[in-house]
Structure 1
């Protein structure tokens, strides 16, 4: 694959751009353009259905369509996908409730044409999340964006800041955020039931992988390949990218961490204030091809003291790696449950252990018990609202209702950007294959100015905010 061309700006230039973004400057395809808070007000839909466009109609997006078929007061008015065959499947799935939804192959044409649009759902490869979201927010549209929020740290911050300025309603696609077990587990950890937490272990079975078949270079009939590439450098079609396998390539995805990190770190991030690690250490296996993420990795995030919370380490394992067998045996995981469940977590405090989101064992206890019945947990008051619907349906319904002025979202960009940033710092360490020291205040990797290029993208012209579009918004 063609190497990704990183920008050549100096660290001084980069910090200047970061400061401009924080001060209310908006991203364009060639840098930043001055603007006060976005002048387009968020679209409102009081008294009528929320008009939504779905950008991306396959994979995860098919679940989106099924959920929207069940949500009241919402109308899917447009569907967009660069692959006409996948678009047709999405249209067919939506047709029982939304038979008149219009079809687009290019999200830019959709955003230009649909004048009565209120909101968009972005279910595209990671490298296009920020580009599309920023363009949509500049038009006053509410945004639901799949995880991770972006492919780079800088984009996550841009999305957070632009959402704040524009006032639109946002949500990142971490469906566990809508579930009662997640919210209850956060309440229990925050209440101190586990005591002081010093270590968290999170593992996934996902790994960067390639198909055994050679890559082909003929795009599906009618596919808008250049639009699929979007902000990324131009290159010929590659079947090892589309569909889905883009996730494992550094130019387009964020690897196993990007795939599962925002899901599996959700509990720990929220309960333990993990927004700013000081060090991230990476032990990685060899990638299967140039430009691919490592085949396996262990990432250690180290956090300093945070208010009343002491220093701690979060260890992430992927590609078949697991915590030490001695640790798992000491916790009694295999003894009680028979095996180690894939895609799970351990939160270890000086008073007890939480396994997953539903099992707890305090010091001196022989077995894990469910958190719904454990006396120490029952005594913890409820501090978060609960959804009547769980999972993706509850997550989308919460966003739709917030767009209509009823309630708020649990995974809005304010919190999602910080969580995405934490996750993506692990991908930076994995790309470098070594420990990095992080300064969140200056958004910089200490002692390695050249590594700043891994924190922000280089955008190809024509696929996100432009100076002319921003001038129209300010007119």
Structure 2
């Protein structure tokens, strides 16, 4: 990366606020602009990206006692104004509104940011936030590619900020109990996991390029991605299905089941061999989608452990009644995990074993965060207030390791061949063609810096 790319990114960031020295000095200044919270202090958050998942997170956080929403941010002012009005009616107060996330990061009253933006923004938005002294809750997948995901981990550690990835299964009591059971050895050695993402999706059509709608800050929306003219078919939600901004369903719904699969296998390292095959079937002549709607991926770890993943976006049967979920296979039995409901079957005769209705975990691992569907965001709030990263159920490094799996699958799919990965170096073995796909060419000033 050219040396001036990082400086340009920082200058652009700082141009919107107080003028300070550029480069490392600027980053140091920004990282120092945060307050230390106590358990009883109000946590002031900003939510960035408000249309879909971000709006759900906004309401999750707003409902937590001791949390105040200080700012709302979206580069589509039509969405921003709508959410601000809805929020004031529902909660009785009006947060600040900004269309540029950099203005949020300059605001010293904001303790933490919640990132519900499209995938291509997750890494840079997180890095800028921690450099600005903010804690971060970022949606899955945590990054758009593997290289920038590692930079997120480096930034969180350097600036000593708490960063949680939105793999909510990590905070569901029954799922945690299932993982405890898998790791207990009662199913023998878990030699294979299977993740399922069977989610039928119809064509969204093809659209001509057109004028940018009023209120949409298109250059900001594109951010780090390659620039292209406004196109409705590549904008709200449909960005998922184009490689420039999304990662397909393997990298959309899939990351949740990839995370559970890796967790159940007890793997803290990357796989070695990756294969992935499939295609975009049925709608290829009537839809602009680039990512596959059918994809079968296979990962092999150094010890021979296997992870299979099935992505199906057309019409299909379930597997043992599961369309979104996981299956685990051990030398003494197997597990069915569907949402937070799990069952086990033992031996050749498939005799019913412990299940989510009969198994009592050793302890409630979520006792610091309360109960209910908001467990994951409550876990983040509790960790921030306590100033203890170790309280997180999905720290950025945990989330990054799981996020790498769909990225590796997509690289193998796009190359149409097996790839061999060196997990320690986070590079492919003798494969410069594959290595190019570990990162992207960033569009100044929206550059993920090589030196955090």
TM-score where L is the length of structure 1: 0.81
What are the within-5 Å matches in structure 2 for residues 11-410 of structure 1? 40-41=31-32, 43-46=35-38, 47-95=40-88, 96-97=90-91, 99-112=93-106, 114-206=107-199, 210-274=203-267, 275-286=269-280, 288=284, 292-305=290-303, 311-320=304-313, 333=320, 340-356=321-337, 357-366=341-350, 368=352, 371-374=355-358, 377-378=359-360, 381-382=362-363, 384-386=365-367, 387-391=369-373, 393-405=374-386, 408-410=391-393
Of 95-104 and 245-254, more deviation after overlay is shown by 95-104
**C-alpha displacement of 1:173:** 0.9
SS of the residue aligned with 1:265?
helix
**C-alpha displacement of 1:368:** 4.2
CA, structure 1 residues 45+93, in 2 after alignment: closer, same or farther (shift >3 Å)? farther
CA, structure 1 residues 167+428, in 2 after alignment: closer, same or farther (shift >3 Å)? same
CA, structure 1 residues 159+119, in 2 after alignment: closer, same or farther (shift >3 Å)? same
**C-alpha displacement of 1:465:** 6.4
Rounded Cα–Cα distance in structure 2 between residues aligned with 1:440 and 1:71: 39
**C-alpha displacement of 1:361:** 0.9
**C-alpha displacement of 1:181:** 1.2
CA, structure 1 residues 85+176, in 2 after alignment: closer, same or farther (shift >3 Å)? same
C-alpha RMSD of the superposition: 3.1
For each residue in 1:348-370, what CA deviation from the matched residue of structure 2 results, as whole angstroms up to 9, or x when unmatched?
11111110151111115545456
CA, structure 1 residues 426+138, in 2 after alignment: closer, same or farther (shift >3 Å)? same
CA, structure 1 residues 431+179, in 2 after alignment: closer, same or farther (shift >3 Å)? same
SS of the residue aligned with 2:198?
coil
Rounded Cα–Cα distance in structure 2 between residues aligned with 1:221 and 1:397: 37
**C-alpha displacement of 1:301:** 0.7
Instruction: Select the residue among 393, 399, 416 that pairs with 1:416.
Output: 399
Rounded Cα–Cα distance in structure 2 between residues aligned with 1:161 and 1:49: 28
Rounded Cα–Cα distance in structure 1 between residues aligned with 2:144 and 2:327: 27
Aligned twin of 1:473: none
**C-alpha displacement of 1:430:** 1.7
**C-alpha displacement of 1:436:** 0.6
SS of the residue aligned with 2:36?
coil
Rounded Cα–Cα distance in structure 1 between residues aligned with 2:203 and 2:225: 21
Larger relative contact order, structure 1 or 2 (CA cutoff 8 Å, min sep 6)? 1
**Contact 2:187/2:346 (8 A) holds in 1:** yes
For each residue in 1:18-43, what CA deviation from the matched residue of structure 2 results, as whole angstroms up to 9, or x when unmatched?
xxxxxxxx966679x77899562454
**C-alpha displacement of 1:230:** 0.5
Rounded Cα–Cα distance in structure 1 between residues aligned with 2:69 and 2:357: 42
TM-score where L is the length of structure 2: 0.85
Rounded Cα–Cα distance in structure 2 between residues aligned with 1:427 and 1:239: 24
